[in-house]
């Protein structure tokens, strides 16, 4: 690093510029929808006229019996229509491998998942206001389900509220999500054709070095077939670490979540559920800003 003399009249402005550059490279960008977690979302949005490209790869593996690996690939393009409003479109694809899994036919195949869209509006900025607040609406059409890659014709709507609070000059970041989902056309992959779900997540992460964040996150989902609260199906809770690294124009996030609790109808009482869920979820994300 260049050394500055205290008597050099260029030292003070040069030091100020260097500190500013170091700070800008260390904190999360205020100009992008940067994902500090794998499963939990933040409240920031893209600036007007900017694009983000995301590639997400998720491995869901390990059930109570048999061998199961489900790979989910989501390729997403996002655009900032205003500084507060962004929208995106994504293609979902799946690769399913399972042998001896209960209630699922053996499989080893790639399937087209479907098309998903999202809209997100930021009400408050986590970098300018006491707390960040955004609302998000996700919708999609899915041709194959994520459990067995089985045929379906699902359409869904999933509104969500996002909170984000930053502490200590954005060194410590906390995020909280809560949303619901209505889905139709889940048959013949499922025994019923519609479903209601509640889902949410929370995470806290700390910048331990320039450009590096390390934290923990968790997410939960409960499902009720036929939109009937008297017809509970299952609830599942995941939690684990998340590692994030960012540069000016790109970032990567690696997250691991373990099923810490689950309960499903007609499953053996053992504090985990495997009819639709797995024991482990590993997610890798990479994003590019334009």
Look at the chain and report how many structural domains it folds into: 1
Range of the domain at 190: 29-289
**Is 92 within a domain?**
yes
Query: Looking at residue 269, what is its pLDDT?
Result: 66
pLDDT for 49 = 95
- The parts of the chain modelled with pLDDT lower than 50 are 1-31
**pTM, rounded to two decimals:** 0.87
Tell whether 213 is covered by a domain: yes
Tell me how far CA of residue 79 lies from CA of 86, 113, 286, 288, in angstroms: 6, 22, 16, 12
Q: Which residues lie closer than 8 Å to 37 by C-beta, 6 or more apart?
A: 175, 201, 203, 205, 215, 217, 242, 244, 253, 255
| Residue 4, in any domain of the structure | no
> Using one digit for the tens of pLDDT, what is the confidence trace for 258-278?
999 999 998 876 799 999 999
Q: Is 15 contained in some domain?
A: no
The 10s digit of each residue's pLDDT in 66-109 is 999 999 999 999 999 999 999 999 999 999 999 999 888 999 99
Residue 16, SS3 per DSSP: helix
pLDDT at 31: 44
Which tokens go with 108?
A: 């080893």
Does residue 8 sit within a domain? no
Domain-embedded: residue 24: no
Does residue 95 lie in a domain region? yes
CATH code for the domain of 55? 2.40.160.40
């Amino acid at each position: 690093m260049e050394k500055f003399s205290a008597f050099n009249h260029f030292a003070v402005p040069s030091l100020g510029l260097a500190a500013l550059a170091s700070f800008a490279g260390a904190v999360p960008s205020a100009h992008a929808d940067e994902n500090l977690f794998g499963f939990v979302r933040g409240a920031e949005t893209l600036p007007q006229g900017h694009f983000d490209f995301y590639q997400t790869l998720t491995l869901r593996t390990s059930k109570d019996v048999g061998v199961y690996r489900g790979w989910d690939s989501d390729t997403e393009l996002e655009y900032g229509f205003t500084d507060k409003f962004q929208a995106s479109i994504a293609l979902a694809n799946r690769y399913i491998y399972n042998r001896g899994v209960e209630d699922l036919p053996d499989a080893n195949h790639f399937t087209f998942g479907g098309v998903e869209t999202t809209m997100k509006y930021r009400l408050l900025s986590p970098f300018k206001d006491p707390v960040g607040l955004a609302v998000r609406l996700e919708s999609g059409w899915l041709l194959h389900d994520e459990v067995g890659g089985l045929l379906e014709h699902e359409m869904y709507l999933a509104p969500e509220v996002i909170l984000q609070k930053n502490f200590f000059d954005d060194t410590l970041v906390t995020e909280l999500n809560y949303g619901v989902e209505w889905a139709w056309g889940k048959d013949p992959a499922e025994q019923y054709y519609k479903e209601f779900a509640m889902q949410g997540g929370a995470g806290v992460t700390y910048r331990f070095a320039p450009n590096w964040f390390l934290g923990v996150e968790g997410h939960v989902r409960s499902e009720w077939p036929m939109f009937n609260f008297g017809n509970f199906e299952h609830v599942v809770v995941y939690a684990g670490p998340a590692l994030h690294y960012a540069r000016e124009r790109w970032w990567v996030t690696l997250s691991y979540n373990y099923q810490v609790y689950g309960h499903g109808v007609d499953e053996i009482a053992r504090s985990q559920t495997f009819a639709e869920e797995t024991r482990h979820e590993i997610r890798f994300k990479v994003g590019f800003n334009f």
